Amino acid sequence: MSPSCAVKPAKPTSARGGGLALARRGLRRISGPLWRLVYGFYERQLEQQVRARPMPGHIGIILDGNRRHARESGLSDPEAIYRLGAAKLDDILAWSAELGVRMVTLWVFSPDNLRRPEMEVGGIFGAVEAKMRALAADPHIQRRGVHIAAMGRRDLLPPALLEAIDAAEAATRGNDQITVTLAIGYGGREEIADAMRAFLADCAARGLSTAEAALQVTPEAIRQHLYLAGLPDPDLIIRTSGEVRLSGFMLWQSVHSELYFCDVNWPVMRRIDYLRAIRAFQRRDRRFGG
């Protein structure tokens, strides 16, 4: 079975690699019902392996590949493209709740994305707004105990989207089983710059001189002024679509995160892709810089 989501392997150059390619082509010829049987068996085996080990407490996901998927599917309407990506959030919530993952942070929109065509930016904002309004009224969200939060520069977002985010946060404020954070209008450099501004403003409010403020600069002091200071660092960060970089996602918090890059585009990420990412995390020897 050809993994579409995995840590980047070297291309096979041996006879064994050629044999794997032949086996994969053979699997593709299996009829639909038999393929579903094989696929279901594989997913169950994978889930058993994952459930046998500790889960990551906090997973960050860089949602990449919306436009690639649109090109492959012949979609051109910007909001329709990003509504597909927004719909994938339902799957992530369900999978995370089933597995006992307590926190998920999704990078939805960065300040750099504002450079994209106006219609595309509007499509992203429209899709996220619609999704936030749907989540605020979704009874499944309450039953699963989902708490929705957001972080990023609010001044970059249109009023209607801010209103929808506020409504979703308010509707789920009392829930505590799983926290889903939207990083929207978010950039890692911007977060650190904003944290330093907030830190200096706090020092000024306490009447400290520049020299005195400088003596108080510590990693913990900066951390206390991040967008969501109480949010634990992500154990695992997943990026979809085949790009192998963080692009500024949670720069401060990702120092000890395990990274996983996969080829599948975000709108068509499957449960087995999520399980594979978690399994890869569980197989790592985490030394936290040691």
Output the furthest CA–CA distance in the chain (Å, rounded): 74
Active site residues: 64, 113
State whether the Cα torsion 231-237-242-245 is positive or negative.
positive
Q: How far is C-alpha 170 from the chain's CA centre? A: 22
Please tell me the distance from the alpha carbon of residue 254 to that of residue 250, in angstroms, as a whole number.
6
User: SS3 string of 220-265?
Assistant: HHHHCCCCCCCCCCCCEEEECCCCCCCCCCCCCHHHHCEEEECCCC
Q: Report DSSP state, residue 29.
A: T
Compute the Cα dihedral for 207, 210, 216, 221 and give only its sign: positive
